[in-house]
Amino acid sequence: MTAVVRPGDRVAAAVTTGPRRTEVRTLSVPATGPSDGLMVVEAAGMCGSDVSMYAADLPERVMGHENVGVLTNVGEIAAERWGFSDGDRVLLEEYLPCGHCSYCRGGEFRSCLASDTSLNPEAVRFGSTPLSVAPGLWGGYSQVMYVHASAVMHRVPDGVPSTLATLGLPLGNGYQWACLDGRVRPGETVVVLGPGQSGIGGAAAAGLAGARVVVVGRARDRARLEVARELGAEAVFVTGPGGDHDEAAVRSYVADMTGGRLADLVIDAAAGDDETVSLAIDLLAKRGRLILAAASRTALSRFPVWQLSRKQVELRAVRGHSWESVEWALGELASDRLPFELMSSYVGGLADVDHALRATAGEGAEPILHATITPA
């Protein structure tokens, strides 16, 4: 049954007030019109990108962009545009594209400048737009959130719990990078550097596509690597300080499993820095494909152009997910082919947002792969 939400109702929200500071406040539900609506939030996932945003000195905002809930107060025009109405349970993508630029018309709405906060200071998107930008409730760490006219949404399959459905976006990233951008094929060998949410999603997608998969992480990633193994990785390696293997051991293993050819596809979902890019190229076969999914904010000091050219590597930098990839992810979550519930390692309320963000960043003894906030 659709919740009754009226303009001016007071709802609780976790507001990021400064670098690594959150407080739970009571905010007003905004009025909506024929072209927009509201969503009663059931669950909001916590992305790795939220960690860096939380550490930054930014205006106050309600974070949370992996949002699942029930639509309400949907306007007549919005219902026609979205194909959804009051009472529908949906997963929102973070993007709020314009709908008419060349990127949107070409199906690549994630590149639309109207929602690209890294290039356009006026851009808006769920989970990162400041509280000062009306109507303010832009994020899922709130009992109710505003749903913009340009929202991109997906129907959540019956039987998929909301806490699990929030994985649709990080799993969508992984499928995007491995299968759509990386063009993985059955029988190929794939190496994933970095067992974060999207990296593990990429490993799982590649395995389901018929590839042999190796995942590499650090000592702090041991629990995550075990999840990667449960989701189909043939082998996992712990490298670096406190690790069990050096990078030469990883290369030797990949060489043995491929008869010396090395990997067809490497996804750098770890750091995108000198170390990981160098390792990625070292693990690639000639004419292999390198996906740079991690974005280091510091320039590479020694970009290995010579190694790239000698191996004739196909290099592609990627960001985010497409409509198709999120639909794939929700379908897999409904299929029970793999135990994706292993990725959901923490569920908390609004008062737990600060703790969950810090733990996702690796602070404390509690390892969190994917945290979910349930605001009710």
Q: What is the pLDDT of residues 121-147, one digit of tens each?
A: 899 999 999 999 999 999 999 999 999
Residue 245 to residues 252, 292, 373, Cα–Cα distance (Å): 11, 23, 36
Over the chain, what is the mean pLDDT?
94
* Count of all residues that appear for the chain in the document: 376
Tokens of 169: 């976006």
| Backbone phi and psi for residue 374, each to the nearest 5 degrees, phi listed first | -110, 105
What mean pLDDT comes out for the span 332-352?
Answer: 96
Confidence band of 9 (pLDDT split at 50, 70, 90): very high
Distance between CA atoms of 51 and 16, rounded to whole angstroms? 12
Q: For the chain, how many helices (H) and strands (E)? A: 12, 16
- Can you give the pLDDT at residue 22? 97
pTM to 2 decimals?
Answer: 0.94
Per-residue buried b or exposed e for 111-130, using 16+ beta carbons within 10 Å of the residue's own CB: bbebbbeeeeeebbbbbbbe
What mean pLDDT comes out for the span 197-209?
Answer: 97
Contact 209, 231 (CB under 8 A): no
At 251-307, the pLDDT tens digits run 999 999 999 999 999 999 998 888 899 999 999 999 999 999 987 666 667 778 888
Distance between CA atoms of 292 and 280, rounded to whole angstroms? 9
Please report which helix (H) or strand (E) contains residue 104, including its range.
Answer: helix 102-105
pLDDT score of 3 more than 80: no
pLDDT score of 194 more than 90: yes
At 222-237, the pLDDT tens digits run 999 999 999 999 999 9
Distance between CA atoms of 9 and 24, rounded to whole angstroms? 16
